[in-house]
Structure 1
Amino acid sequence: MSVARYAVFGHPIAHSQSPRIQAAFAKAQGIEIDYRAIDATPQDFAAALDAFAADGGVGANVTLPHKEAAFALCATTTSRAQRAGAVNTLLRKGERWHGDNTDGIGLVRDLTGRNGLDLRGRRVLLLGAGGAARGVAPALLDAGILELVVANRTPERADALVDAMSEPGRVISAYWDALREQGDFELIINATSAGRGDGAVFSLPLSLVNSLTTAVDLNYGEAAIPFLAWARAAGCRNEFDGLGMLVEQAAESFQQWHGVRPETDAVYAALRERAATLVTAD
């Protein structure tokens, strides 16, 4: 009997913790899987996904920069994927892919469950308008935030995300270079890849921060360091990276593939310990 094949697609992808997470979930549930990381450029993504399916692939996660492309390749999608216009979870149904987006619920579960935040009534600044931002925006609105301000270095992308949310007045776009005019926020989310690369520095107006501000980077590991360094310097009350969100969205994907939602606390704790060990070793 062959082992079911799963994968995570991205570019780059060597840093991904998804294989480690899914393997831990499967072991805890007594399920045998073959889950691997597949690096595919944007030009090669569709062909790589076809090859994976032809080789027996039945489910996949999708990360930067393929989430919007994955949405376009699906024959069917969930309502939350449709709202986002982006997909991070694929399930093979017959000869076609079914797509979902678990990023948003993963973020909300991490912030409200693991970290005890109440998102209701908060002004939120969302930095970025790509697949990651599109994935979390609907769930933030459903969690009861007061207002969502979307800022992107390409204004047209921010406007497109705002239009897709269909909540005029509650979701608005802002020019990146004019952020200091937007007042302060209780939650600032970095959904850009601006922190990637050696020597990267993240700079935002300090006026965005108030005494309650929580800063969240959807990246984790080294990619999250510049934004979180800015958040600490700006005096944010809390700073979180995207590791907790990663584990929670992975659990949602696992549930769709295997019909059971795994416990996440032990896997999250193990990843945190491993990350701390790696930093100490450096």
Structure 2
Amino acid sequence: MDKFLVYGNPIAQSKSPIIHQMFAQQTKQAIHYDKCLSTSAEFEESVNKFILAGGKGANVTAPFKEQAMQMCDQLTERAKAAGAVNTLIFSERTIKGDNTDGVGLVNDLKNHQVQLTNKTILLMGAGGAARGVILPLLAENPKQIVIVNRTTEKAEQLAARFTDQKITAISYAETAKATFDVVINATSASLSANLPDLSSTCITTNTVCYDMVYGAKLSPFLNWCKKHKARLVIDGLGMLVGQAAESFYIWRNVRPQQTQVLAKLRSQLQGADK
């Protein structure tokens, strides 16, 4: 039975083992998927031990995505663009790194019938979460991707990493001067129940708002968007399932169905809140 792991710190809350076991049952794949708590000092040795023990691949979550990238012998284009890795593929002598976060996001938006082609997208945040989704968003041929960050300089630096002229950077104050078709929150603000300094005037009744954070209830950001009459608000649970589905496909060459898995996770989340 092929073995897989997810590394993180913290990791107890990870839903990846549940997701991948459901994918395995659905596609009749014989795999074992577990989670591993590690530290930065132990991470590399832990991965190497897992490879020696016959591990076939691993997912990587915070705070190890950049460290995992440093271990790789080969990187996909989307991993290079993200500057981080969330999926490791182990072969006899090499470690290959990929990043499936952006694919997870784009596919979730598409599953909600959100058009990205020729649309203006506001991407909030300039850290790893934002970096990881830019290349897959660009592949959808949007009209523009505008990056906004608390520190405008970081947004400008991220925009400069890409040669595409569709990518620009602005300050939060400047969001009052524009409107957007899609607004994506890739900041950690929702984890601490904070709101970014976004101007409410940039959201219209045609705007779709997406938060990478998910929970039993809508995040403060999505509640704020609803209050300002956004057309649709979406949390990040579908992105979580989507990035896992892409990792599963990379490892097993079988594309799992996500609908039932997503529904089960949603039900568990809402049940835990009662």
The alignment's TM-score, normalised by the length of structure 2, stands at 0.91
1:232 aligned partner: 226
Aligned length: 273
Query: CA 1:260–1:35 in 2, change beyond 3 Å: closer, same or farther?
Result: same
Partners in 1 of 2:154 and 2:6 — Cα distance?
25
How far is 1:48 from its partner?
3.4
Query: CA 1:8–1:249 in 2, change beyond 3 Å: closer, same or farther?
Result: same
Query: CA 1:180–1:256 in 2, change beyond 3 Å: closer, same or farther?
Result: closer
Of 146, 166, 182 in structure 2, the residue corresponding to residue 187 of structure 1 is: 182
Q: Is the 8 A contact 1:64 1:131 kept in 2?
A: no
Partners in 2 of 1:143 and 1:230 — Cα distance?
27
Partners in 2 of 1:53 and 1:227 — Cα distance?
41
Q: Is the 8 A contact 1:195 1:223 kept in 2?
A: no
Of 83, 98, 106 in structure 2, the residue corresponding to residue 100 of structure 1 is: 98
Q: Is the 8 A contact 2:191 2:213 kept in 1?
A: no
Where structure 1 has 5 or more consecutive residues not aligned to the other structure, the ranges are none
Q: Is the 8 A contact 2:124 2:147 kept in 1?
A: yes
Partners in 2 of 1:224 and 1:157 — Cα distance?
28
Give % identity: 40
Partners in 2 of 1:223 and 1:67 — Cα distance?
28
Q: Is the 8 A contact 1:195 1:224 kept in 2?
A: no
Any idea what the Cα deviations from partners look like across 1:177-210, whole Å, max 9, x if unmatched?
x24344111111111222224xx22142211201
Amino acid at match of 1:83: A
2:114 aligned partner: 117
Where structure 2 has 5 or more consecutive residues not aligned to the other structure, the ranges are none
Query: CA 1:228–1:181 in 2, change beyond 3 Å: closer, same or farther?
Result: closer
Of 200, 203, 208 in structure 2, the residue corresponding to residue 214 of structure 1 is: 208
Partners in 1 of 2:41 and 2:227 — Cα distance?
39
Of 132, 135, 138 in structure 1, the residue corresponding to residue 135 of structure 2 is: 138
Partners in 1 of 2:170 and 2:40 — Cα distance?
28
Partners in 2 of 1:66 and 1:223 — Cα distance?
28
1:267 aligned partner: 261
Partners in 2 of 1:20 and 1:236 — Cα distance?
32
Query: CA 1:232–1:175 in 2, change beyond 3 Å: closer, same or farther?
Result: same
Amino acid at match of 1:275: L
Q: Is the 8 A contact 1:185 1:213 kept in 2?
A: yes
Give runs of aligned pairs for residues 16-55 of structure 1, distance below 5 A: 16-55=14-53
How far is 1:222 from its partner?
6.2
Please state if 1:74 is matched with 2:68.
Answer: no
Partners in 1 of 2:39 and 2:185 — Cα distance?
23
Query: CA 1:155–1:52 in 2, change beyond 3 Å: closer, same or farther?
Result: farther
Amino acid at match of 1:115: H
Q: Is the 8 A contact 1:195 1:202 kept in 2?
A: yes
Partners in 2 of 1:179 and 1:219 — Cα distance?
24
Amino acid at match of 2:184: I
2:170 aligned partner: 174
Q: Is the 8 A contact 1:106 1:248 kept in 2?
A: yes
Give runs of aligned pairs for residues 55-66 of structure 1, distance below 5 A: 55-66=53-64
How far is 1:99 from its partner?
0.8
How far is 1:149 from its partner?
1.0
Query: CA 1:235–1:256 in 2, change beyond 3 Å: closer, same or farther?
Result: same
